[in-house]
Structure 1
């Protein structure tokens, strides 16, 4: 019973193993494919065969295309495939057929007609196909060009009804009052078309004219964008300039302006006058746009007048200042201090003031200011600040004692005390310093290591 059971299991296992030895769809070499119904199958039983054939555009170069499935493995295909050769496509009269890519499957040929001939009919692109060259060769016929369409306001020569021959040229001429836009001559080219494109005949009007520097169009002329042939436009000198001779009128003739003869130069403002106790100078000259300067003599200052005076179209644009004796009004008082001398009337030019602070305060800034040429004291007045001291800094190996280490400021006359730091002992001298007029007295304390003998 046990042996029979074993034999049954072995037979079943062998059947499963044999069934698993089928082959999946085989893969051939490049440029070949499965033949017939074999391409539809996904699985092939053990011992079966499949057949390859050369792909489209390829032919057999020998060897069998049949492979066999054995124990789940395909035998190697012996078939070899090479591209088909389309050979010659034939000749074209008055032209040349060339094969820049060769004449094997997939290659493209070209047809070039001789000079004076053009391709007519045939296929645009001719490739080597599976069954030969796929298309019809064009013929090369004598190149001619149909007459071009007429143009408005002009004509071409010679005019004829029959086609024009290769390289024959046409000359375009515009009617009176019009001018050519484009080339005057076109030629019958190798593609059976005239080249370049025909010109146009456009009106010979002129665009708005541009004058010389410092002039502008006059009146309504400045509003126009176009001027008909034979019309005129007039220039005048721009603001700040005057005529130095010549006519400002220009004429439009066949789309071109005549040259303006008008010459414009800057107007001169001459002298702006004189200033008592001062000098008027003209570093930029006295023509239109220039700026003058006024400098008062030492001890005098400009009063009134215009800040900037330029030469304008109708003269100097502004009023000259006057130069008056320089004085300074008394400066404002300062807190915790005063200046000398004090007076109610203005101070004279270069007169100086001395500042002194009250007891317990010190000057921050210069002690003396002077009445300057601009009528202001210079430099700015000082301030009187308290004569407190900031936290003092001791020598190495010492520190502030008690609450002194917590303070940032010490009033005038107060003291602060240093002590030796941890690990150090006094070697003599006082640790107390005194704040006097914002300065600390010298520290006398000396500290040495406790471990030194």
Structure 2
């Protein structure tokens, strides 16, 4: 063997040894990351202490170290994760709507603006911002209309009161006979409240020796005793209200220094009008209830008629009678439900009985289900009396009975 061949063989061995040593210490390609990528340090082969850098796609946040290092055939400290920090649809708000163009997903930092309906006022900022997969605090729209103007002792509101008053609308008071008004007779609805109410004071001159004349009359009420032409200091009389009226204030007034103390007022009852309920597509919640008259302060509960669902902009369905006025809630027409034979088969159920010739049910209609033969109930028993809810039926489920 010649010196040349020995030299050539040695060099080949050295190259192979170096390659093997290098190959033994190298790492495999760094792992891929879902919703992310490697942006720095990419090579065709990786040696000890080589580093690569990861970054995430827009809308995703890095969890873990952005740098990993080849150490003893392993990437340390391990690849990071890319977490979805995009936001779902922004929430709806009562008495308001979104003005920004809506998207399927929102990137962090995205801003969505709101606007209140007419006669409502925004509370807080008028936008939300997507942050870490969640929206910042949602604004609200405050109703700036006013309830009916309240009654005052010794006087009343002129004309018929409305259930609600718009901002800027006014109401006018007048005092009963023998009463004198202090303060402005006109009040204005401002930001959901009335400006300062006037007062009506008894307008009679003191009698001799502190005596009082006849007690003042009140609307829709009377005193319980026959009125005298004159009352001594400290004498009292009691009032009562007519049927369906509620007495508010002191039941009894007293002659003090020749003047009567302020009398009570009689608050009117409310009538749940069939015509108004039909106009708003509502009915009394309790079907057996026939009470159309409610005294002031009482609550009446309503519900949507069959075929209708609650209007998102509606006032509450539990309504308080306010001195003869009711603010009716409102329902809109709901979507019909189509009974699915495939869903019934999948859930091993059938109709308990059906006299309908159609598989169409109106919103709020009840659909009675039962299990197929040899199957037993899995769902709650109440679920077998399902109700069409604005186009959706929640089907109960049964399973094979082995017993």
Regarding TM over 0.5, the answer is: no
- TM norm structure 2: 0.24
Larger RCO: Structure 1 or Structure 2 (Cα < 8 Å, ≥ 6 residues apart)?
A: 2
Bigger Cα Rg: 1
| TM-score computed with the length of structure 1 as normaliser | 0.22
The structure that is strand-richer by fraction is: 1
